[in-house]
Amino acid sequence: MAKTKRPPQTAKKLGGPRVSPDGPRKSKVDAVEDFKARLGSASAAIMTEYRGMTVGELAELRAGLREAGTDYKVFKNTLAAIAVRDLGHEDLVPMLDGPTAVAFAGDDPVDAAKKLADFAKRVPALVLKGGFLDGKVLSEAQVMVLASLDSPEVMLARVAGMFASPLQKVAQLFAAPLQQVGALFAQLKDKLPAPSAAPATEEAPTEPAAQAPAPAEETLGEAPTEAASDTDQTEAASGDGTAAQDGS
């Protein structure tokens, strides 16, 4: 039985096409650009090591972070190092050691850090190595501090509670029946001290009244003087008349 000859097999190209004949492969270039875009648009990035975690644990962690608007993606350390160097964040390179996955947080970096820290407590194989927030590199300790902060929702709820307490008291005051408000004023009136200074207020107007007749006394004192002068003139006139009669 004659053997059939197989056609010659061509060597498979691994890794996909290259950007240029001597350049990197396109898949690696795309991975670097993807890392740059994610780091630029994320509110924070947290570097983790997942060595020893099972596939199920990784899937559970991804699902929990996705609910918080956080993407959890595995990158090759060499490609991630190229990306952070191109962005000028050389301090992130030492964190890219071992099996590395990066959590790119959405609008709430605190919530992402909390979920990672809580998961690391249940699964010690997950290690938080550091992060990147607002243009600054975070150490592992700083990431744990970030995880301990209150989320914006909790902070707003606390502020709202501070304002709601006085408003609730005011609402209760206006909602109370008028009889209760009247009883409240009656109790306040009973607690006030007796008006001991009331007689003083009545005597105060008497002082100007006592001073008012003073000019009248002077007028009365001057009136007899004028009357006396008139009497003297009458007597003098009558004296002159008598003297005239005696002379005649």
Q: What are the extents of the domains in the chain?
A: 26-149, 153-191
Q: Choose between 208 and 135: higher pLDDT.
A: 135
Crossing angle of helices 109-122 and 140-148, in 10° steps, is: 110
Model confidence, pTM: 0.55
Q: Does domain 26-149 have CATH number 3.40.710.10?
A: no
Residue 47 is predicted with a pLDDT of 95
Token digits of residue 220: 């009365």
Q: How confident is the model at residue 25 (pLDDT cuts 50, 70, 90)?
A: confident
Q: Which of 1-10, 132-141, 164-173, 232-241 has the lowest mean pLDDT?
A: 232-241
> What does the pLDDT look like over 175-225, one tens digit per residue?
555 455 455 556 555 655 555 554 444 444 555 544 544 444 444 344 444
Tell me what the mean pLDDT of segment 19-32 comes to: 77
Token digits of residue 163: 């304002």
